[in-house]
Structure formats: C-alpha cells, structure tokens
Structure 1
C-alpha cells in the first residue's frame, strides 16, 4: 500500500506538468548522447582484453623487448611463384622488418600448385592495432603487384578480418533490430505514433548510455577502447529490455485509456506498474553488474553499459518521459486507431492536474 501511494504521487506529479518533464529529461539524455562519438569501438589488442596482469601479457612484453614483437606470430603471404620477387619487394614496407619465403629442408623455396608462401615479421606485437594497420598497408602493397593473386593471412590478419566483419554486422543488425521491434510495437499497440515515439526514446536512451560510458571508460576507468561488437550487444540488450518495460506500461495505458481516457489511463497505469517494472529493472541491473567481477574487458564494459542503460530506461524513460509524452499528446498518440478519434468523456474531465 505504501508503494502504491508512492507511485500515485509520482503519477500525479507527472500529470501536473507533463510537457516540462519530458522536455527537460529528453534534453538531459540528448546532452549525454552528444558524447557518443567519443566511444572508441575500433577494437583493442588481445593482450588488453585482460584487466589483470597475466603470464601471456608478461611474456608478450618480454618478447617485444628482446625481439621483433611480431616474430612469434608472423604474417603469411601467399602468391604466385612467378611473382615471388616482386611480392617480396612490395612487402618490405614500414612496420615489416623481414620478408622471407618458406623453404624446404634443402633450402629451396617451397612451391605448391604454382604458389609460394612468404613469412613477414612485423615490428609491432601481432595482436596490436598498429600491427593490424601494417597488415592493411601490406595487403594494399602486395595486391598492387600484377598477376600475383597475393593473399595475406596469419593471426594479425584474422584479428583484422574479425573486427571488420563485426563492424559490418553492427552496421546492418542494429537498423534491422530497430525496424523489427518497431513493427512489433505497431502490431501490439495498433497505432503508429506511439510505437515511433517509444522507439525514439529507447534509441536516445541507448545513445545516452554509450555517451556516459565513453566518458567513464576513457577518463575514469582508463580502458584502452572496446571491441566493435560491444555496441551491438549493448543495443540488442537495451532495446529488448527497454522496449519490454515500455510495452508493459503502454499496453496497460491503452487498456485504461479505452475506459477512462488517455490522461487518466496513463496515471493509473504508471501507478499500478511502477513498482513492478522498477523492481525488475533494479534486479536486472544488479544481475548484469555481477559480470564486472570477471577480469575481462568485454564483460566489464557490457556489465556497466547494460546495468546503467536498464536503470536509465526503468527510472527515467519509462517513469517520466513516456508517461509525460503520452499525457501531453493525449489521444493523438494512438493515431490512426479509433482510440485517437474518440475517448471516454472522463478524459476531458481529468485535464485539470490532480492535487
């Protein structure tokens, strides 16, 4: 009963000044979202994935101090035998210390199906971003050799291709997920305006979460960056969870609006669902936060982003922005359904703020 009274007071406050509430809260989220370009998701070195010092990290540091850092994991170039000399010369670029063909026991160059293999030793550690940039330049150099049909592989090239694929997937999957969720909302709420507004609030909340995360990751936690899949995982988690909370609220609002009007229905729905949704958000945030105890960069970042984003959705977006927007727009939010054209008379009588 005490919790019910608390959420009733929250609902009455939102109902008393809906437009200032959603405008101010939205401006705060947009301000945080402006920090999004600072989120570094171009990848990190494999040795930086561990938040604690490990034997592998120590060994890589010692290797780099006494030998060419990439000597333990050379880059491999496959080319036609006829282009061996030209490819060898082309591969001698900045960042590559030595280029040698793979030879057999007798010291002669090994030829398989008219192709030869060369090993290029990089000056930077094989798992570093500098090494990946060297591989990109190396590919450009050997691909320019006529008739070489050169291919560049090896551990560094695999890391580079994996990150490029993750970046392309992120660019494709995020819009597809957003579109599918929007279509589901349209079918569920039988409206267009409400689903679009809900998706906009979730997307702005996601952008604000990454903005805050970039500020803390770069200047407080001192993280070296993030894997390209981190924003993708964060988007999938936060959109799914944020939309869930909005669905719980807005389906109840629609049910109540059909009986008492949009304004009164929103106040009732917020009062009834407030405690349940907020409790679920807090529990979920605490659950994801537990991942931060694992000393892996990826999990620590996902733990913070999802936990913070869930709390932002549950406490700000669903509690303040969505109800305030719904009350401010009134029955227009249900366009083009019949509910947008006529509502119970009580909605008009409830336009005076309570209290």
Structure 2
C-alpha cells in the first residue's frame, strides 16, 4: 500500500493523505482583501485530492506585506473577504484548509515578482520596513527601522489577532512563517540580528521573539487547532543560521506544543549559495524529525510520485509539500494515486473523468 496515501494525524486534525499544498503567494489581493482570483486559485486546488491546502503567506499587518498586493488578515474587511472565499470553497470541498501567518520584516515593500520584485522606497509609494536590526536585505534597499519593545509587543498582538480571525473563519491549522528571510527568520539568524538586548546575540536570545509569538498564538487558539512553524533550516551562508540551530529551535517549539515543522531553507540574503537538486531540502526535514519526533513536512523540488513515496516510506519526512508542481499540475495527487495504485478524493462531478482501467481511482 502506498505510504504517501495513508492518513496522518496532526494533533486532533486527521489528513486523508500525506500530500500538502504549500502556501503560494498570488500577489492578487486588494488592500489585503482576497479577490475572485483567490476563489479560483484555492477552489481548483481544493478539488485536487491533496490532504491539506495552505492559504498563501497572509500578512498580520499592512507593513508586514511583501508587496502592496499581498493577502492580509488584520481587519474586519480582510477577514470578511477571505471568509467569502473559504465559504464558497467549503461548499464543494471538505479538504482541510490551513493558513500561513506572516510578517515580511525588511523584505516588505517590494514590487510584485512579474514587475521585477525590487524594493520600493517610501517616497516612491512604498512604506517603512521593520526588522530586528537596521540592516537592509540588499545594500541599496531602504534601511529598516529596528524594532523597539513597544513595536515587538504590537507585532505579537497582530499575530494573535490574525490567528483568532483565522479560527473564526474555520481554518483547520495555522502555520507561523519563520522562514525565507522574513521577520521571524530575521530574528533567528545572526546575519540579520545584531541586537545587544535580550532579543539578540546568543542563540537563546535570537530565538526568544519567534518563540514568544508562537506561544502567544498557541495560547490564543483552541487546542484542537494544530499550530506549526515553517523554518529555513539553513541560510546557505557561512556563520549564518544552520541546521544545528534549527534542531534546537525545533526542540524549543516542541516543548511549547508545536504540532509540525515545515522545513524549507534560504531566503535571508542575496549572497546565499544553494546547491539545487531534486529533494535537496529533504535531509533537513529528516534531521529535525529524528531529533524531535515532530511531524515534518519536506519541500523543495519534489516533483515525481515515486520520489514523494520514497520520502514518506523511508521515514525522511511525514508529509511532502508541493508548490510550483501543483500550479503546473493541479491534479498532481490524482496522477500520483493512479501511479502508486492508491485512491484519492474527487468531486462527484468529475468521477466520469477516470481513464479506462482506473475505475477505482476515486474514493466513493
């Protein structure tokens, strides 16, 4: 029996299989509010047969957006807009929907990727970015404002408020974004955090604010909702954040009730040197799984069903997440199930689409 298509429990949440659809920024919101594009995008993915669908990185405050077109969850208006999308999707899919809550930190205030992705300074229509330390991502970016205690308290509150809004929307799981060079990752890495107070210098201090945010969210949402964290296991830069520090961070999260770790890498600096290859980040997920026993999600150039099956069957990770692969092939779980001799959930309206010889592909 295919291990990729076996159920898994994240706390009290049960997933029908181990395929996760990663958060994928769409840069298609209006003032943080979800639009019809999100309905089309999430709607098609919710019919894919995956075990869990993540809504894209969702900013907890306006200044926490990567671009002015990022999705947000900081007001009644943003909550209502996303609620409309989720309600519509829910009419036709029972797939659990999770959300990734994020603050872009010093990587905020940029153009959308297809317009170049460059930083936009406040005089040109951008906004003042925030960070642990006054160090820009690129040398010519606007220098971010180092966060003081009052600002840290406000951002903690923003994360909690967004998590509570997500609960009201019926979200099944919450992921805290502490990867890819965004705010919480910036606190973790010694390359972006040169503070000399209780939030900087030592590993214990650099972990403090991300752990405080996690604890605040975990305390604010019901026990039946899993709360996990996405991390960058390494900066891919000497003397930066690395896998051994990630293990310590994961262990501290485990002690605080973390339900899963979503293991990515990189994104902190344009100087990173990443040796890309199929499944190149999987060993990081395996290392954290072995050290903590926490359910881990492996990501990064996982494209073939046999590859995903091997990752799960060998115990390297508990789940695999696809992003670009799902955009290219929104029925990837169907095709994987056909290839691996498994079954997958599909809407009744599509049952007649099964190719000849695959009459048992769809679970009925």
What TM-score do you get using the length of structure 1 for normalisation? 0.21
Greater relative contact order, per chain length (Cα 8 Å cut-off, separation 6+) = 1
Q: Which of these two proteins has the greater Rg computed from alpha carbons?
A: 1
Greater strand fraction, Structure 1 or Structure 2: 2
What TM-score do you get using the length of structure 2 for normalisation? 0.21
Greater helix fraction, Structure 1 or Structure 2: 1
